[in-house]
Amino acid sequence: MDTLSTFMFPMLIIGIFYLLVFRPQQKKMKEHQNMVNSLAKGDEVVTAGGLIGKVTKVKADSNEIEVELAKDIRVNVVQATIADVRSKSKPAS
Protein backbone atom coordinates (compact mmCIF):
# COMPACT_ATOMS: atom_id res chain seq x y z
CA MET A 1 0.00 0.00 0.00
CA ASP A 2 2.89 2.35 0.73
CA THR A 3 4.28 1.90 -2.80
CA LEU A 4 0.91 2.72 -4.35
CA SER A 5 0.56 5.97 -2.40
CA THR A 6 4.12 6.91 -3.34
CA PHE A 7 3.20 6.80 -7.04
CA MET A 8 -0.30 8.25 -6.67
CA PHE A 9 0.72 11.59 -5.17
CA PRO A 10 3.07 12.64 -8.03
CA MET A 11 0.52 11.41 -10.59
CA LEU A 12 -2.18 13.51 -8.90
CA ILE A 13 0.07 16.59 -8.97
CA ILE A 14 0.86 16.02 -12.68
CA GLY A 15 -2.86 15.62 -13.42
CA ILE A 16 -3.79 18.84 -11.66
CA PHE A 17 -0.91 20.68 -13.34
CA TYR A 18 -2.11 19.44 -16.74
CA LEU A 19 -5.70 20.58 -16.10
CA LEU A 20 -4.71 24.01 -14.78
CA VAL A 21 -1.81 24.90 -17.09
CA PHE A 22 -1.45 22.84 -20.26
CA ARG A 23 -5.09 22.53 -21.38
CA PRO A 24 -5.87 26.27 -21.15
CA GLN A 25 -2.61 27.10 -22.95
CA GLN A 26 -3.40 24.64 -25.76
CA LYS A 27 -6.90 26.12 -26.09
CA LYS A 28 -5.48 29.64 -26.28
CA MET A 29 -2.96 28.60 -28.95
CA LYS A 30 -5.71 26.95 -31.00
CA GLU A 31 -7.89 30.09 -30.81
CA HIS A 32 -4.95 32.27 -31.92
CA GLN A 33 -4.21 29.94 -34.84
CA ASN A 34 -7.87 30.07 -35.94
CA MET A 35 -7.82 33.88 -35.69
CA VAL A 36 -4.66 34.10 -37.80
CA ASN A 37 -6.00 31.66 -40.40
CA SER A 38 -9.22 33.66 -40.79
CA LEU A 39 -7.51 36.98 -41.57
CA ALA A 40 -8.92 38.69 -44.63
CA LYS A 41 -8.37 41.85 -46.61
CA GLY A 42 -9.79 44.85 -44.75
CA ASP A 43 -9.39 43.48 -41.21
CA GLU A 44 -7.93 45.92 -38.71
CA VAL A 45 -5.18 44.15 -36.77
CA VAL A 46 -2.70 44.78 -33.96
CA THR A 47 0.78 43.28 -34.27
CA ALA A 48 2.77 41.89 -31.37
CA GLY A 49 4.87 45.07 -31.57
CA GLY A 50 1.79 47.21 -30.99
CA LEU A 51 1.37 48.53 -34.53
CA ILE A 52 -2.21 48.97 -35.70
CA GLY A 53 -3.04 48.65 -39.37
CA LYS A 54 -5.38 47.31 -42.00
CA VAL A 55 -4.74 44.09 -43.91
CA THR A 56 -4.32 44.89 -47.61
CA LYS A 57 -3.16 41.52 -48.88
CA VAL A 58 -3.09 37.95 -47.57
CA LYS A 59 -0.34 35.99 -49.28
CA ALA A 60 -1.54 32.43 -49.79
CA ASP A 61 1.86 30.98 -50.67
CA SER A 62 3.61 32.16 -47.50
CA ASN A 63 2.75 32.93 -43.91
CA GLU A 64 2.91 36.70 -44.45
CA ILE A 65 0.32 39.42 -44.82
CA GLU A 66 0.63 42.97 -46.03
CA VAL A 67 -0.55 45.59 -43.55
CA GLU A 68 -1.13 49.26 -44.28
CA LEU A 69 -0.07 51.30 -41.25
CA ALA A 70 -0.80 54.72 -42.74
CA LYS A 71 -1.67 56.07 -46.17
CA ASP A 72 0.81 54.53 -48.66
CA ILE A 73 2.89 52.91 -45.88
CA ARG A 74 2.67 49.13 -46.19
CA VAL A 75 4.72 46.49 -44.43
CA ASN A 76 4.90 42.71 -44.67
CA VAL A 77 4.11 41.01 -41.37
CA VAL A 78 4.41 37.36 -40.38
CA GLN A 79 0.90 36.12 -39.62
CA ALA A 80 1.87 34.53 -36.31
CA THR A 81 2.87 37.97 -34.95
CA ILE A 82 -0.70 39.26 -35.16
CA ALA A 83 -1.80 39.75 -31.56
CA ASP A 84 -5.41 40.80 -32.10
CA VAL A 85 -8.03 41.54 -34.72
CA ARG A 86 -9.75 44.79 -33.75
CA SER A 87 -12.43 44.72 -36.42
CA LYS A 88 -13.34 42.26 -39.12
CA SER A 89 -14.07 43.43 -42.64
CA LYS A 90 -17.60 43.14 -43.91
CA PRO A 91 -18.02 40.12 -46.21
CA ALA A 92 -18.67 41.00 -49.83
CA SER A 93 -22.30 40.51 -50.76
Q: Select from 20, 17, 59, 16 the least CA-distant residue to 36.
A: 59
Instruction: Check residue 60 and give its pLDDT.
Output: 78
For the chain, give the percent of residues with pLDDT over 70: 94
Identify the bridge partners of residue 46 per DSSP, sorted by sequence position.
Answer: 52, 84
The pLDDT of 69-82, averaged and rounded, is 93
**Is the separation of the CB atoms in 79 and 34 below 8 Å?**
no
Answer whether 0.75 is exceeded by the pTM.
no
The pLDDT of 80-88, averaged and rounded, is 89
Instruction: Check residue 61 and give its pLDDT.
Output: 81
State pLDDT tens for residues 1-38: 677 778 888 899 999 988 888 899 999 999 999 998 88
